Chains A and B, each alone.
Chain A
């Protein structure tokens, strides 16, 4: 298992905690939470725990692309069990969708 930490700039916050997915084979779970009081609200802090080591660059690129489109500030935790970049992107979008549903 490898733990990876990233930060990206963000503009608007995750309105409420969102949980998506499961740590199942080829899948991952995402926990997205609003920034805690006192934490900067203009960036997103991402922690990835993945069962597959050595894909730091791929994770960085997938996450950067997603958060450029969806600059949702807050704390994002990804617990991964070998999801492909496609599945990761799908789960990230589901999380963003669930978060925006909460605001509308």
Chain B
């Protein structure tokens, strides 16, 4: 925790008499932000939309799954607030809580489209995907990101991170997509939490017991001083409401001016970040400044490592080469490959042993990978501008995860990933069929960034294909279980399973391919995959532009009945009877 300090313009008297926002529960927070008398809670505890996955694991569920949806007005404007209760499961995004948020955003978008602009406010207090509902939580985050991007051009989506949990995991990508982000000094925003980084990278990478370090990197003041948040407001319900009123009245951001669209800023900032001689958090404030505008190149700027390195042969690389045949594979950067055939552009994130960001050398999606993906996808969209038939984009997915590192967090990995998610969403909505083809591991934030915004998802039916929110050893430590216990639970709890055939039953698999050799595809394997990808592209061209097929598929009707119940109930309660 940070020491309580006065913010500029705040007196001790104000600090002492303030009404704390952090001390309120989710409904209390939402009510404190809305115009008095306008509060109407939807899908509340008595509707009993609890998680169907927790009780079978011996975890007490909460009647509203820890997320409160409230409609009302802010300064007279229609607003819907999705407030995450930080006390329940650390605010983790599960199937039900995630569906509540995405549906609230979709309904606000429908109202906005029909002529009543309805702003959305998300109170982010979350450790990220709820690991007990792993793959359903991960997909819920992808759906939330997509829904924010659907609404954002029509009505503002405002994120508030007050603390004390803060915003972590994939939901921070969602925070990075918001029109405006309001934080307190107690807030933290990061992709990977300190404990996870320490677990994955060692205590030298990030000492998670060093609270001063945590807030110096992830803290609300730092995020605001480096332009990754817009308003820094003390923990005071009235001042937060005032900031929200200001944000709602400001309306939508100008097209192209959202943080997740400013690739010029991201590129200029990353050019000044040298992981082998990183700036201190204080230096970073001076280097980057509080406004999200391009920064001048600095003397310490890292240069690409020109030494010839041996690139390891991985499934991602083999399949990319096999699928594109004689087509030249170009390096957007050494870890992001692109090849454009007659029918589609193929993109893959691959290991680069010389990556200057040393935590992203094994094929993880890090800062520069996110930027390269975003730039490439935007280039593809721009190249097809005005064409009747848009080129398909195939994301070849074989990635161990996102990059777990201190430099990554300091540089705002969540914001870089938001840029890639934004780009894929833009491509999908512009009519580019997007097909994700999972040939190896597809974990967590890496998959959210490169794959989960696709219209169609295909995967190899192979024991080494693993799609999950976190690898088994880490998930076991965090949920206080042994790996054996985790595997035992995964046999009955479908979204927790590491087996791809179980993942395929969740409702968002559009094809599972058995091949002869998943490591080094045979000619027959390539033919099979090529034809499956062509079919998926055709289905994507005919299908919806949004992600609704993940809820309407045959498998989803059985497995995601809780998500469907949430969608149905919120739609029914949206307008007062």
* Residues on A facing B (Cβ under 8 Å): 1, 17, 19, 22-25, 27, 29, 31, 33, 49-51, 77, 79-81
Q: Which B55-83 residues have C-beta < 8 A from chain A?
A: 55, 58-63, 66
Query: Per-residue CB proximity of B38-63 to A under 8 Å, as 1/0?
Result: 00000011100000000100111111
Are A29 and B46 interface neighbours, CB within 8 A?
no
Asked if B59 and A79 sit within 8 Å, CB to CB, the answer is no
In the complex, residue of chain B having the shortest beta-carbon distance to the beta carbon of A52? B60
Would you call B311 an interface residue if the criterion is a C-beta within 8 Å of the partner chain's C-beta atoms? no
With contacts A22-B25, A23-B87, A79-B63 taken as known, whether A29 is within 8 angstroms of B58 at the C-beta atoms is no
Q: Are A22 and B63 in contact (CB under 8 A)?
A: no
Contact assessment for A19 and B59 in the assembled complex, using a CB-CB cutoff below 8 Å: no
Other-chain contact of B46, A17, A51, A80 (Cβ < 8 Å): A17
Asked whether A29 and B59 contact (CB < 8 A) given A22-B25, A22-B87, A22-B88, the answer is no
Q: How far is the CB of B190 from chain A (nearest CB, A)?
A: 22
Question: A19-B44, A22-B88, A25-B87 in contact; A31/B63 too (CB < 8 A)?
Answer: yes
Q: Which residue of A lies closest to B59 (CB)?
A: A1
A79→B60 contact, CB < 8 A: yes
Contacts of B89 in A (CB 8 A): 23
Q: Once the chains are docked, how many angstroms separate the CA of A89 from the CA of B471?
A: 41
B85 on the interface (CB 8 Å rule)?
yes
- Taking A19-B44, A29-B45, A51-B59 as known contacts, 12 extra A-B pairs with beta carbons closer than 8 A to each other, sorted by chain A number, are A1-B55, A22-B87, A22-B88, A23-B60, A23-B61, A24-B85, A24-B87, A31-B46, A31-B63, A49-B60, A51-B58, A81-B60
Contacts of B60 in A (CB 8 A): 1, 23, 49-51, 79-81
Complex Cα–Cα for A27 and B44 (A): 19
Contact B85 A79 (CB under 8 A): no
What 6 pairs between A and B have smallest CB-CB spacing?
A: A24-B87, A23-B62, A1-B58, A22-B87, A19-B45, A51-B60
Task: Assess the A79–B46 pair: CB atoms within 8 A.
Answer: no
Q: How far is the CB of A4 from chain B (nearest CB, A)?
A: 12
Report the Cα distance A31→B66, complex, angstroms: 14
* Complex Cα spacing A27 to B58, Å: 17
Could you list some 11 contacts between A and B, CB below 8 A? A1-B58, A22-B25, A22-B66, A22-B87, A22-B88, A23-B66, A23-B87, A29-B63, A31-B63, A49-B61, A51-B58
A79-B87 contact, Cβ under 8 Å, with A31-B46, A33-B46: no
A19 engages B46 (CB within 8 Å) = yes
Q: Is the CB of B61 within 8 A of A79?
A: yes
| Bound form: Cα–Cα A23–B55 in Å | 13
Chain B CB count within 10 A is highest, among A23, A24, A25, A51, for A23
Per the bound structure, the CA–CA distance linking A17 and B64 in Å amounts to: 15
Q: Which residue in A17, A27, A49 is a CB contact (below 8 Å) of B87?
A: A27
Q: A50 vs B85: C-alpha distance in the bound complex, in angstroms?
A: 19
Q: Is the CB of A23 within 8 A of B88?
A: yes
